[in-house]
Amino acid sequence: MRVLLQRVSEASVSVAGQEIGRCGKGLLLLIGIKTGDSSAEVHYLVEKCLQLRIFADAEGKMNRSLLDIGGEILAISQFTLYADTRKGRRPSFIEAAAPEISEPLYELFVQELRAAGVRVATGQFGAEMAVSLVNDGPVTILLEK
Kindly tell me the sign of the dihedral angle through the C-alpha atoms of 123, 129, 133, 138.
positive
Catalytic residue among 78, 93, 122, 124: 78
Angle 135-143-66 from CA coordinates, rounded to 5°: 55
Give the whole-angstrom CA distance, residue 65 versus residue 49: 8
18 is catalytic: no
DSSP 6-23: EEEEEEEEEETTEEEEEE
Catalytic residue among 51, 80, 111, 140: 80
Give the whole-angstrom CA distance, residue 72 versus residue 120: 6
Q: Are 25 and 68 in contact (CB under 8 A)?
A: no
Angle 120-72-140 from CA coordinates, rounded to 5°: 105
80 is catalytic: yes
93 is catalytic: no
Catalytic residue among 79, 109, 111, 122: 79
Active site (catalytic) residues: 78-80
